[in-house]
Amino acid sequence: MFRIRPMPPQVPAALLAKAEQVEPAMIGHLRLSGIPRDCLRPIAPTKRVVGTAVTLLLPTIDAALLHHAAGLVRPGDILVIDRLGDQRFACVGGVVALALARTGLTALILDGLCTDPAELRESGLPIWASGTTAMTTRMHGIGGEMNYPVSIGGAVVLPGDLVIADEAGMVFLTPDEAAMRDIDLALTLQAGEPDHLAQIRGGRPLGDLSGASALVQMKLADS
């Protein structure tokens, strides 16, 4: 069975511009949700990307819905694919990557396998995946879902979420969360990092700088 919901509203351009300045790891200082575990890697070195999540659930051997979705995605979208635990069949190769790149898609995040890594790099489309294989999907029409919640490396992703991804990792945020709190807090932390690095280079102990030593000493005094 196929289930397809309408395309989500795209994240406002002003919020995307601000989010592009943020390292995903800075947001990792602030929250526990929306950040996948360590299982996805960029297929090639890539700059930071930001965009609107368009989600797919693709079952096992069938990639029919992915090929259909290539005609629906928009410039500025990031296609986020949940392979429902499959780690045998590659649903993305050189042909699919080129077709997606030509739509203006910003990036593809795949919790599953891909193939043709050299062709993927040539396509110019930033791609994250959990690995590669020569075993590929087919056109069976088994089913799938588009623009429903998905799970990527254990993180829940909703259609319309703001995606920030780079070589260090990725984060998925609702636009409201990002605009109200997380982006500005992360930028504040990021702005202080050069001073912290300078203090460490100047010889200041890390535990003194972070407050860890004072915390340990307090706990020791209470024990």
What's the predicted TM-score (pTM) here? 0.92
Question: What superfamily does domain 2-174 belong to in CATH?
Answer: Ribonuclease E inhibitor RraA/RraA-like (3.50.30.40)
Q: Do the beta carbons of residue 112 and residue 87 sit within 8 Å?
A: yes
> What pLDDT, on the 0 to 100 scale, is given for residue 182?
87
Q: 29-85: per-residue pLDDT in tens? A: 888 899 998 779 999 778 899 999 999 999 989 999 999 999 999 999 999 999 999
Domain segments of the chain as ranges: 2-174, 185-222
For the cut 80, the answer to whether the pLDDT of residue 170 exceeds it is: yes
**Model confidence at 209, in pLDDT bands (50, 70, 90)?**
confident
Which residues 6+ apart lie within 8 Å of 120 measured at CB? 43, 44, 92, 93, 94, 97, 114, 127
Average pLDDT over residues 171-184: 88
